[in-house]
Amino acid sequence: LSARIAKAKGGAPVERRLLEDAQAGDERAFADLIRGFDQSFRLLAYRLLGDRREMEDALQEAYVKAFLGLPRFRGESALSTWLYRIVYNSCLDQLRRVPKEEGALHVEPSAVATDPADLVATRATLEEALAALAPIDRAAVLLVDAEGLSYDDTATIVGVPRGTIASRLSRARASLRRSLGINREGVSR
Amino acid sequence: MRTEPYRDRDLGAALLELAVPEHGKAFFAELQERLVAERDRRHTVRRTRWMSASLAVVGIVLLAALVFLTLGLPRLRSESDVARAAVIRTQVMKALAETRTVHGAIVYRAFDVRRGETVTTRQTFAADAAGDLRLTDVGGIGDLAYNASQGVERAVTTSASIGSGRFFAERTGLAPGPPDHGPSAFLLDRELGAVVRALAAAHNPRVDEISFDGRPAWRLDTAMEPNSIFADTDHLEVIVDKKSGFPVRVLATLRGAFRSELRVQHLVLDGGLPAHVRFPADAEVLRTDEGFRHVAAADVAKVVGYEPLIPSEVPAGFHLTTIGVAMKASATGAAESNPPSLDVVSLAYRRGVEQFIVTTRRRSHGSWHDPFGVEGIRFVGEPVRAGGALAGAHAELVVDPRVVPHLWALTDRLVVTVSGDLSRKQLLAVAQSLSPQARPGTGPAASASLRRCKSARLTLSGRLQGATQSLLGTLALANRSIRACALPVAPSRVSLVVGTQVLPALTVRLGLRKEPPGAPTRRLAGRGRVRVGIQWRNWCGAPSGNLHLSLVLTIFPSVAPRTALGLVRTPPCVDHRLSSRVAVSRFIRSR
C-alpha cells in the first residue's frame, strides 16, 4: 500500500509524509497537502461555476469530503485524480442546487484591468465560449488541454468512458478555437 | 501501437491565462475549523466502531450461514459433498427463518497488521426478527442498540477526545439498509462481512463432519481470492453447529498465517432482547440524522411525489416490515460519487433474521454508477434483462465476495436497487415483479386527490433580521382551507419588492445546514402551516439602507403569496461584481 501511495504521489517524500499524516487525521497536514493542488482545483471549479463564492462553497465541501475519505484512499489512482473527481462532483452538486431557471451560467468579468484592450477582449470571448459549453465539455478541455491530464484520468474524473472524452474534446475545441479565431492547425486567422 | 492522445497546447495556454480568483482571506481558516470539527466527529465515531464492528461480526455469523442457503455451493467435489451441503443448507435455512431472536457471546480475535499483534474483543450480542440489534462490551461500558422500527441507533462508548468517561451518540433517520446509510452493521458490513461473502464466490468448498466443543458439527472450508487492494485472507473455515444450524466459528487465514477467528458462545435462540440504551438526563449527546422517516404505505407517494416500485412476488416467508422515505439522503456509490439521492423509498422485507431491501430514488441529472460501489474496487456487473417496470432499463446483477448481492437498474425516471439475503435467481425474480402497483392509498387516485395549493387560500408571514453580512429569517406559510394541498419541494423564486420596484436578486437554494430544523414536506395540511428559511446577501444596488420591504414567494407559476416584512436594513455590499442572492430553503413541516 505504501508503495502504491508513493507511486500515486510521484514518490515525493514530503508529500508522501503529508498524505500519511492527513490519512491519520492530521488536518494541518491535509491543508498543506491540498494547497499544492488548490490552484488547479480553483481553475476547474471557477470555470464550472462562474462565481467566486460558489467556487469557494464547492471547494470547501470537496476538501472536507476528501479529508473524510482520505483513509480509504488506497493509491489505486493518482491522488490528484482522486481529488479532482471529488472536486468535479462537488461542483456538479453545486450546479444542481441552483434552480434551473436561475441556473444559466454567467462568468463574471475577469479582473485583469492592466491587460491590453485586445487581449482583454480575446479573453472575454474565450470565457464566454467556455461558459457556453456543457460542464463535462468544459471540464474535459480544462483537464486535458490546460492541465495536461491524460484521457484516461480525465475519463475517471468526470465518470465517462475514454471515447466520450475524445468526442467531447473535439467538439469543445472547435468551439473554443472559433472564439479565439484560430484554425485547426493553431494558426491565427 | 497506441499513440499519445492529442493535446491542444495553444488552447491550453490560452485557458491557463484566464483569470482565476484567489480564495477569500478566511477560506483556509474556515476550512481548518471545519476539518477540526470533522476530525473530532470522526474520532468519536471511530470510538463507537468497536461495537459497530462487532455488529458486523454478528452479520458475519449470519451471512456465513446465508451463503450456503442463498447462493449455494457450486461445483462440489463429490456426490456425498453435494448431499451434505444440501442438508446443511436446509438446516441453516430452517434455523434462520424460524428464529425470532438470537443472543450469545462473541470472542473475536484479529491480527492487526499495523501493530503486528493480535487484538481480542469480547461482547454479548442479541438480534431479532424485527431487525433490532444489541451489543454490549463484556467488562466495559460500551453499549449499542439499534431499534429497527424507529430507525434509531444509540451508543454509549468512551472518547479519548473529550477526556475520560462516557460518550453518547444517537443516529436517527437511518435507512432500513443499503445502499443508503443504515445501522452501523451495514456500514462495516462491507469490510468484515466481505470475508464471509467470499464463500459465495467459492468454487470448491470441502465439507467434513466433525465434533466441535463436544457437539456434532459440519466444517466447510474453501479457498478464496484475497481483496485486490490489500490482501486480507485467502482461506476460510466455517463450522456450523448441527443441532442449531448456526455457524459457531469462522477462521480466516492468509497464506497459512492466522488473520482472524470468530467464536460464538452460549448461543441461545428465541430468548428475550433487551434493546434499549438509556442516556443520563444531563448527557451531552452527539446526534446525527440520516434523513429517513418511517411512513405508512398510504403516505409514500405523497411524500416522494411518485409511485414507488413494489415487488408483487417475494420469496416464501418474507414480508414487508419497514418503509423508509427520505426527500434527500446521502449520495451513493464509490466515495458517494453518484448524483444526490432524492425522494428515496427504501422497503425492508424480513423472514426471521434474514432481510432484503428494495429501493427507488429519482434519477437526478448526472452519471450514475453502481450505488453499492466501493472506492478502489471494480465490481463486474452482469447485464441482465428484467421485465415489468424495469423493461428496457439498464440493469446489472452483482454477486461479488466484497459486497452484498444486489441488482441495480436505471429507468428513465428512477434508480432501482434490490439487495440482500437472496440468491441470483431470487434477486432477478423480485426485480421482475416490480411495478408501480398501488397499495391502498398510494395509487394515482390518492396522489391526485391532493391538489396544488392555491394563492387565495395561503397566508405568508414572517420577518428577516440582520445576521453576518446578510439578512436571515423564517417565513410561515399557512393554509386557510380545511383541505390539505400539495407543495413543491421548495419555492421556485423569491422576489424582494420596495413599493412597485422588484429588486434584482438571484434565487438560489439554501444550504441544507442552514435550513430551519424539522422534516421537509410537500404537504400542507388543512389549517396547517409550513416554514421556509430565507437568507438575503450582497445588496449593491439602490435603494439601500432602511427600506419598507415586501417579499413574494413564487410556489407555482400562478401561486405567489406576498408578505410585508416591515422596515428592514439591506444587507451590505460584499462584492459589487457579484449578483445579489436570496437563498431559500425547502418547505419544512411546522412542529
- Per-residue DSSP letter, A145: I
Cβ neighbours around A124 below 10 Å, total: 16
Give the contacts of A140 (CB within 8 A, at least 6 positions apart).
A154, A158, A165, A168, A169, A172
Chain B contacts of A27, Cβ < 8 Å? 32, 35-36, 39
pLDDT score for B239: 81
* Interface contact B507, partner A, CB < 8 A: yes
Distance CA B175, CA B291 (A): 8
Give the contacts of A90 (CB within 8 A, at least 6 positions apart).
A45, A58, A59, A61, A62, A65
Phi, psi torsion values for A70, nearest 5 degrees: -60, -40
Q: How many CA atoms lie within 13 A of B480 on its CB side?
A: 9
Mean pLDDT calculated for residue range A107-126: 51
pLDDT score for B533: 93
Question: Is residue B551 scored above 90 in pLDDT?
Answer: yes
pLDDT score for B426: 83
Q: How far is residue B196 from each of residues A102, B59, B121, B192, measured CA to CA in Å? A: 50, 9, 19, 8
Question: How do B285-289 and B166-172 pair as beta strands?
Answer: parallel
Using the Cα atoms of residue B287, residue B34, residue B369 and residue B233 in order, give the sign of their dihedral: negative
pLDDT score for B202: 47
Q: How far is B4 from chain A (nearest CA, A)?
A: 9
Distance CA B138, CA B396 (A): 43
Question: How do B506-509 and B581-584 pair as beta strands?
Answer: parallel
The three-state secondary structure class of B20 is coil
pLDDT score for B361: 95
Best residue of A51, A54, A83, A100 to probe chain B, by most B CBs closer than 10 Å: A51
Question: Is residue B310 scored above 60 in pLDDT?
Answer: yes
Strand partners, B290: none
pLDDT score for A14: 66
Cβ neighbours around B81 below 10 Å, total: 18
Helical (H) or strand (E) element with B500:
none
Distance CA B582, CA B549 (A): 14
pLDDT score for B326: 92
B335: left (phi over 0), alpha (psi -120 to 50) or beta: left
Distance CA B261, CA B138 (A): 18
> Are B434 and B311 spatial neighbours (Cβ–Cβ below 8 Å)?
yes
pLDDT score for B496: 92
Strand partners, B568: B547
- CB burial string B160-186: b at 16+ within 10 A, e below: eeeeeeebbbbbbbbbbbbbbbbbbbb
Taking only the tens place, the pLDDT of each residue in B181-211 is: 877 654 334 333 443 444 444 445 567 788 9
Q: Which residue of B has its CA nearest to A112?
A: B19
Mean pLDDT calculated for residue range B505-520: 80
Question: Is residue A185 scored above 50 in pLDDT?
Answer: no
Which range, of A19-28, B239-248, B327-336, B580-589, averages the lowest pLDDT? Answer: B239-248
Confidence of residue B94 (pLDDT cuts 50, 70, 90): low
Cα of B32 vs its chain's centroid, Å: 27
Contact A56 B336 (CB under 8 A): no
C-alpha cell at A102: 436561475
CA dihedral A40, A41, A45, A51 (to 10 degrees): -80
Question: Is residue B275 scored above 60 in pLDDT?
Answer: no
Confidence of residue B62 (pLDDT cuts 50, 70, 90): very low
Residue scoring higher pLDDT (B54 or B339): B339
Residue scoring higher pLDDT (B437 or B329): B329
Chain B contacts of A156, Cβ < 8 Å? none
What does chain A come to in residues?
A: 189
pLDDT score for B226: 64
Question: Is residue A181 scored above 70 in pLDDT?
Answer: no
Question: Is residue A74 scored above 60 in pLDDT?
Answer: yes
pLDDT score for B450: 66
- Per-residue DSSP letter, B470: E
Confidence of residue B475 (pLDDT cuts 50, 70, 90): very high
> Are B99 and B270 spatial neighbours (Cβ–Cβ below 8 Å)?
yes
pLDDT score for B448: 35
Give the contacts of B472 (CB within 8 A, at least 6 positions apart).
B464, B465, B466, B533, B534, B535
Confidence of residue B220 (pLDDT cuts 50, 70, 90): confident
* Beta strand residue intervals within B352-413, DSSP E: 354-362, 382-384, 394-400, 403-410
Cβ neighbours around A96 below 10 Å, total: 17
Taking only the tens place, the pLDDT of each residue in B445-469 is: 333 346 788 888 899 999 988 877 8
Question: Is residue A141 scored above 60 in pLDDT?
Answer: yes
C-alpha cell at B366: 448526472
Quick one: what percent of chain A has pLDDT higher than 70? 72
Residue scoring higher pLDDT (A113 or B250): B250
C-alpha cell at B347: 422497503
Confidence of residue B174 (pLDDT cuts 50, 70, 90): confident
C-alpha cell at A64: 472536507
How many degrees, rounded to 5, is the angle at CA B480 between CA B474 and CA B481? 135
Among B residues 70-99, those touching chain A with beta carbons less than 8 Å apart: none
Contact B511 A57 (CB under 8 A): yes
> Are A160 and A140 spatial neighbours (Cβ–Cβ below 8 Å)?
no
pLDDT score for B461: 93
Confidence of residue B502 (pLDDT cuts 50, 70, 90): confident
Confidence of residue B500 (pLDDT cuts 50, 70, 90): confident
Taking only the tens place, the pLDDT of each residue in A50-60 is: 888 889 989 99
Distance CA A71, CA B464 (A): 42
Mean pLDDT calculated for residue range A156-162: 86
Question: Is residue A119 scored above 70 in pLDDT?
Answer: no
Confidence of residue B423 (pLDDT cuts 50, 70, 90): confident
* Interface contact B9, partner A, CB < 8 A: yes
pLDDT score for B196: 44
Q: How far is A129 from chain B (nearest CA, A)?
A: 11
pLDDT score for B316: 79
Sequence-ordered alpha helix ranges (H) in A70-161: 79-97, 117-131, 135-141, 151-158
Residue scoring higher pLDDT (B352 or A145): A145
* Interface contact B504, partner A, CB < 8 A: no
* Interface contact B336, partner A, CB < 8 A: yes
Confidence of residue A139 (pLDDT cuts 50, 70, 90): very high
Mean pLDDT calculated for residue range B162-179: 75
- Per-residue DSSP letter, B514: G
B276: left (phi over 0), alpha (psi -120 to 50) or beta: beta
Q: Which residue of A has its CA nearest to B18?
A: A123
Residue scoring higher pLDDT (B163 or B589): B589
pLDDT score for A104: 38
Distance CA B93, CA B560 (A): 59
Helical (H) or strand (E) element with B113:
none
pLDDT score for B271: 60
What does chain B come to in residues?
A: 591
* Interface contact B557, partner A, CB < 8 A: no
ipTM of predicted complex? 0.81
> Are B421 and B70 spatial neighbours (Cβ–Cβ below 8 Å)?
yes
Contact A99 B508 (CB under 8 A): yes
> Are B536 and B464 spatial neighbours (Cβ–Cβ below 8 Å)?
yes
Residue scoring higher pLDDT (B195 or B544): B544
C-alpha cell at B335: 466515495
How many degrees, rounded to 5, is the angle at CA B139 between CA B135 and CA B143? 30
Cα of B375 vs its chain's centroid, Å: 16
Residue scoring higher pLDDT (B77 or B98): B98
pLDDT score for B265: 77
pLDDT score for B91: 57
Q: How far is residue B254 from each of residues A71, B73, B260, measured CA to CA in Å? A: 23, 22, 10
- Looking up cell 462508548 gives B157
pLDDT score for B529: 92
Quick one: what percent of chain B has pLDDT higher than 70? 75
- CB burial string B424-449: b at 16+ within 10 A, e below: bebbbbbbbbbebbbbebbeeebbee
pLDDT score for B571: 92
pLDDT score for B577: 72
pLDDT score for B165: 60
pLDDT score for B161: 43
pLDDT score for B389: 83
Question: Is residue A108 scored above 50 in pLDDT?
Answer: no
- Looking up cell 448431499 gives B83
The three-state secondary structure class of B169 is strand
Question: Is residue B277 scored above 50 in pLDDT?
Answer: yes
Q: How many CA atoms lie within 13 A of B362 on its CB side?
A: 17
Mean pLDDT calculated for residue range B210-239: 74
Q: What average pLDDT does chain A have?
A: 75
Helical (H) or strand (E) element with B170:
strand B166-172
Question: Is residue B139 scored above 70 in pLDDT?
Answer: yes
Confidence of residue A120 (pLDDT cuts 50, 70, 90): low
Distance CA B515, CA B289 (A): 14
Best residue of B9, B190, B375, B540 to probe chain A, by most A CBs closer than 10 Å: B375
pLDDT score for B476: 94
Phi, psi torsion values for B155, nearest 5 degrees: -140, 140
A21, A38, A39: which is closest to A30 by C-alpha? Answer: A21
Q: What average pLDDT does chain B have?
A: 76
